[in-house]
Amino acid sequence: MKITFFRYFVRQTLANIFDNRLVHLVGVGTMVIAFLIFDAFILVFVNLNHWTEEWGRPLTMSIYFKGTPERVVLESIEKELLHFPGVTIKRFISKDDAMETLRRQLGGKAGLLDGLEENPLPASLEIILSRDKTGDSLPYQMKTRMETIDGVDEVQYSQEWIKRFQAIMEAIKLIGIVFGGLLFLAALFVITNTIKLTIYSRKDEIEILKLVGATNRFVKIPFLIEGSIQGFLGGSLALIILFLVYITAITKVDLGIGFASLDIIFLSPQFTLFLLLMSIIIGFIGSTISLGRFFRT
């Protein structure tokens, strides 16, 4: 029984698509546009996210010492630091240098420091991390590694960047979710109505099927398959178009002004697959909604 139904559904779906090629084509075309807008938005969003992450990475790192480090210790630390990618050693700040800087900063109130018996400021090594070579977790890895070294008191890296950009990122994410959600609903609405078109074009057939005793489920399944296929076709075409536009765009940008640092990324394979799956699901949900409306009236 099951196999017969399966064969019927496959044949019926293909026949439906073939008999209504024009309606089907219009449907897929509409979906391509809807998905393209949605996918393009996701791509812009992913890139904004990528840039804020890029720019949000720490730039400077300071290694503070207990007392004044010996020359040998300093050299071995510098050597070890250079093993990490994208690291430039800026300068060594001795305890006296640090005090000097502080005095300058305090200006007229520098007299306050005269009462100190010994210099409480630590010596430190300042290094610069290059943004594009530093991974997300590298600063933290470096910090934990360095802090195990004898003579090193503490490692700090500028988190202000991260914090500032995190706030922007959170805002962008929120806007992204709201706007993406709205776009999703708009796509669903358009697609639901498109599928309704294909259902209405076959309402005589649905009526006859029901008159000869077909269950609702039996009538609906070919439409659900068709909606999913439309979703798949619309979704893949939209992604292909988006990819072609992306390729064209990055070559244009590269040839133009030196925008190299503002690199545009494409969606990851996993994300692409996810969007494709979404398109299929939207096609399926769209058919379910249209069928629900049709069967109620």
Partner 1 sequence: MIQLFNVYKSFGSKNPALIDVSLTVEKGDFVFITGPSGAGKTTLLKIIFCTEKPSSGHALVDGRNLNRINDRELAFLRRRIGVVFQDFKLLPRRNVFENVALALEIMGFPLPMIRRKVHQTLRYLGLANKEGYYPPQLSGGEQQRVAIARAIINNPLILLADEPTGNLDPDLTMEIMALLKEIHIRGTTVIVATHSQELLKDTRRRIVTLNKGRIV
The residue (of 98 and 209) whose beta carbon lies closer to partner 1 is 209
Q: Find tokens 């992306």 and name the residue.
A: 246
The residue (of 25 and 110) whose beta carbon lies closer to partner 1 is 25
The residue (of 13 and 272) whose beta carbon lies closer to partner 1 is 13
DSSP strand E in 240-282: where? none
| Distance of closest approach, residue 227 Cβ to partner 1, in angstroms | 21
The residue (of 209 and 264) whose beta carbon lies closer to partner 1 is 209
The residue (of 57 and 220) whose beta carbon lies closer to partner 1 is 220
Q: How many residues bind partner 1 (CB under 8 A)?
A: 21
Residues 6+ apart with CB under 8 A from 290: 192, 193, 195, 196, 199, 223, 227
Residues 6+ apart with CB under 8 A from 191: 30, 31, 34, 230, 231, 234, 282, 283, 286
| Distance of closest approach, residue 18 Cβ to partner 1, in angstroms | 10
Instruction: Provide, for the chain, the percentages of residues in helix, strand and coil under a 3-state DSSP scheme, each rounded to the nearest 5.
Output: 70, 10, 20
DSSP labels, 55-70: HTS--EEEEEESSPPP
Does residue 4 touch partner 1 according to CB under 8 A? yes
Does residue 297 touch partner 1 according to CB under 8 A? no
Picking from 239, 220, 234, the residue whose alpha carbon sits closest to that of residue 293 is 220
Q: What span, in angstroms and rounded, lies between the C-alpha atoms of 230 and 238?
A: 12
Choosing from 5, 179, 189, 200, the residue that interacts with partner 1 (CB under 8 A) is: 5
Does residue 10 touch partner 1 according to CB under 8 A? no
| Distance of closest approach, residue 51 Cβ to partner 1, in angstroms | 54
Does residue 1 touch partner 1 according to CB under 8 A? yes
Q: Where on the chain is the footprint of partner 1 (CB under 8 A)?
A: 1-5, 7-8, 19, 204-205, 207-216, 218
